[in-house]
Amino acid sequence: MEMNWSRWFRCESSFGLLLVPAQPGIYALAEEIVQPVGPYSRRMLAVSEVDETEDLARSLSRLFNTASPWRERLAEGRCYLRYAVAENAEERRGAASALKNWLESQREIAGQIFDPALSASKSAPAEPATVSERAVDRVSKTREYAKVFPAGF
C-alpha cells in the first residue's frame, strides 16, 4: 500500500480547502514551530493531529467550526495540512494507525532532543544500546513506515 500525499499547505481559512476532494482519506495537521530564517533554512512543523475520514473536505472544514478546539490555532495562521485520498477503509485505517504509532514513537525522541533533563530522569535500560544498535533499530522501524509516509513527513 502506497499513499499519495498532498504537499503541506497553509491552513488560514476554510477557503483554502476548496480544492480538497470530498473523498475518503487521511489527513495530518501540523503547527509551525520554527520559521525559516535564512535563504537555505527550512521551517519545522510539529504534527499534532492525524485522523482518517469518509470525507476529507467535510472533516477538514469542521476544523474551522466554532466548536472546534483547533479554531484559534488555525486563526493564528501557523497551521499546515496535508492529506492522502484512500478509498479502501481497511487501508485507510491501517495507514492512519501506522502514522499515529510512528508519531508516538517520534514524540519520545523529540522529547529527548528538546528536553534533555526529561531523558536523563528516565531510568536507563539494563544494557545500554550502542550507537550502531540504535541506528539499526531506527532504520528497521523506518522501513516499516516507508510505504505509507513520504520522505520528510
pLDDT tens across 49-85, in order?
899 999 999 999 888 888 888 888 887 778 889 999 9
Assess if residue 4 is contained within a domain: no
CA angle, 67 as apex, 63 and 71 as ends, to 5°? Answer: 45
E strand or H helix that includes residue 89: helix 89-114
pLDDT tens digits along 133-152: 554 455 455 555 555 555 55
Q: Which residues contact 51 (CB under 8 A, 6 or more apart)?
A: 26, 27, 59, 96
Please count the structural domains in the chain.
1
3-state helix, strand, coil in the chain (%, to 5): 40, 20, 40
Assess if residue 3 is contained within a domain: no
Assess if residue 150 is contained within a domain: no
For residue 80, the domain's CATH number is: 3.40.1440.10
* Per-chain mean pLDDT for the chain: 76
Query: CA-CA distance, 89 to 25, in Å (whole number)?
Result: 9
Domain that includes residue 117, residue range: 9-145
Q: Give the per-residue pLDDT at 150.
A: 59
pLDDT tens digits along 14-46: 777 888 999 999 999 988 887 778 888 777 888
Q: Which residues contact 150 (CB under 8 A, 6 or more apart)?
A: 3, 5
Assess if residue 153 is contained within a domain: no
Assess if residue 83 is contained within a domain: yes
Count of Cβ atoms closer than 10 Å to residue 122 Cβ: 10
